[in-house]
Amino acid sequence: MDTVQPVVLTIDGLQILLDALRQRGYRVVGPAVRDQAIIYDDIVSIDDLPRGWTDKQDGGHYRLIRRDDEALFGYAVGPQSWKKFLHPPLLRLWSAGHGAEGVRVKTEPYPDERFAFIGVRSCELHAIAIQDKVFLGGANVDPHYQARRQGAFIVAVNCGQSGGTCFCVSMNAGPKAESGFDLALTEILDADGHLFVVEAGTETGRIVLAELPHRTATKKDLGAAESVVAQTAATMGREMRSDDVHELLLRNLQHSRWEDVAKRCLTCGNCTMVCPTCFCTSVEDSSNLAGTETSRSRRWDSCFTMDFSYLHGGSVRASTRSRYRQWMTHKLSTWFDQFGTSGCVGCGRCITWCPVGIDITEEVRAIRESEPQ
């Protein structure tokens, strides 16, 4: 099959890809512009994509601005991540009927829809792999995550543009998509036209690709694709030395920097909502008025909330200081002890979407530099 090697698609070819996936029964979701941000939603055509848009990101700053070309993927990442679909923000777990015949508890059926994700960045591939470890890799498996994850078709995109807060290079999470995808595209927009160099990562990917009108990628195409990635890697908005963070934070749990960041942090929890790996949830039980139907739902939660750690009449982590410390040390340090990897992929969302622009790369640097060399 000639799609073992990278091929080239035109924009029309990309539309045919979307159609082919829909025809195969996938629910196709991808980036779209909504409310002045690029989010993930159901898409049908190329026109639904953020053609000609780019994003300007910095600490506490996100703006969409028009590009001077028609690139489809010429931006970094927005406030949403694929966990919106794989680990939904609100989910019914079970319902129960209470009557004369007794109590009957019914698990909410798992969905059988299969997702096709269009435009997944390398950092997001790593984030998905990290959540795979959390939900599928331990003694317990989350069947809700599993149902949504298995059968998902992933079309990755190699970033042609790094974001103002990106540091995937520091976290060894990009910008090139290495694995975890069915197809990976690199968008090339130059004098010769608007093309996509596409490589297949799985057998399913190869099969789908083979059905699309394509030509084999030339050395020139591959060279162009490589320079796109190299250019992105060279223009990261942030950087963070990551080889020593696990121990650095564990030995500085009483550092004064935590007080310092606590003065700025609003505990709004934005970072946990936009972070592609944050997975904490809570549950809520409800009942109808007659008490004949009860149910339990699961929803996203954040370690920044006051009652996240509620115990015996109060919270274990009552201060802002302790809650910020929990989030950052979990993300960058104790995640290793729990799951064997960092919890951070360097996507920069927490920096962009923090209303006061707290930057974890800066916080780590401050702690590291305060230590005697």
Partner 1 sequence: MEGLERIVREHPFFAGLEEGFLNLVCGCAKNVRFEAGQYLFHEGEPADNFYLIRHGRIALELTAPGRGAIVFQTLAEGEIVGVSWVIPPYRWTYDARALDLVRAVAIDAACLRQKCEADHDLGYEMMKRFLPVLVQRLQATRLQILDVYGVPS
Partner 2 sequence: MDPMTPHVARVRRKRRDAADVWTLELEIEDGNLRQRFAFTPGQFNMLTVFGVGEVPISLSGDAAEPGSLIHTVRAVGAVSGALTRLASGAAVGLRGPFGAGWPMDEATGRDVVILAGGLGLAPLRPALYQLIATRGRYGKIVVLYGARSPNDILFHSELAAWRRRLDVDIQVTVDHAASSWNGHVGVVTTLIPRADFDPLHAIALVCGPEVMMRFAIATLRDVGLSEESIYLSMERNMKCAIGFCGHCQFGTVFVCRDGPVFRHDRVRSLLAIKEI
Which alpha helices (DSSP H) does 235-340 contain, by range?
245-250, 257-264, 270-274, 320-329, 335-339
When asked if residue 219 is in the footprint of partner 1 (CB under 8 A), the reply is no
- Could you give the C-alpha distances from 302 to 137, 278, 280, 308, 328, in angstroms and in order? 22, 8, 6, 7, 12
For position 314 contacting partner 1 by CB under 8 A, the verdict is yes
Query: Is-cis flag, bond preceding 111, omega within 30?
Result: no
The tally of CA atoms less than 13 A away on the side-chain side of residue 112 is: 2
Which of 11, 20, 93, 210 forms a contact with partner 2 (CB under 8 A)? 93
Nearest alpha-carbon partner for 74 in 163, 168, 166, 179: 163
Side chain identity, residue 61: H
Q: Is 252 helix (H, G, I), strand (E, B) or coil?
A: coil
Structure-block tokens of residue 121: 């960045």
Judged by CB under 8 A, the stretch of 42-50, 251-259, 308-316, 360-368 that binds partner 1 is 308-316
Q: Which of 313, 369, 372, 373 binds partner 1 (CB under 8 A)?
A: 313
- Piece of the chain touching partner 2 by CB under 8 A; list 32-40, 111-119, 232-240, 331-339: 331-339
**Stretch touching partner 1 by CB under 8 A, among 171-179, 243-251, 307-315, 339-347:** 307-315
Examine residue 220 and tell whether it contacts partner 2 (CB under 8 A).
no
| Partner from partner 1, partner 2, none contacting 297, C-beta within 5 to 8 A by type | none
Stretch that binds partner 2, among 94-102, 159-167, 222-230, 353-361 (CB under 8 A): 94-102
Q: Which residues between 304 and 323 bind partner 2 (CB under 8 A)?
A: 308-313, 316-319, 321-322
For position 312 contacting partner 1 by CB under 8 A, the verdict is yes
| 336: nearest Cα among 133, 49, 156, 65 | 133
Helix %, strand %, coil % of the chain (to 5): 35, 25, 40
Sites of contact with partner 2 (CB under 8 A): 93-94, 96, 98, 102-105, 107, 134-135, 138-143, 253-254, 279-283, 285-287, 291, 294, 296, 298, 301, 303, 308-313, 316-319, 321-322, 326, 330, 334, 337-338
Sites of contact with partner 1 (CB under 8 A): 312-314
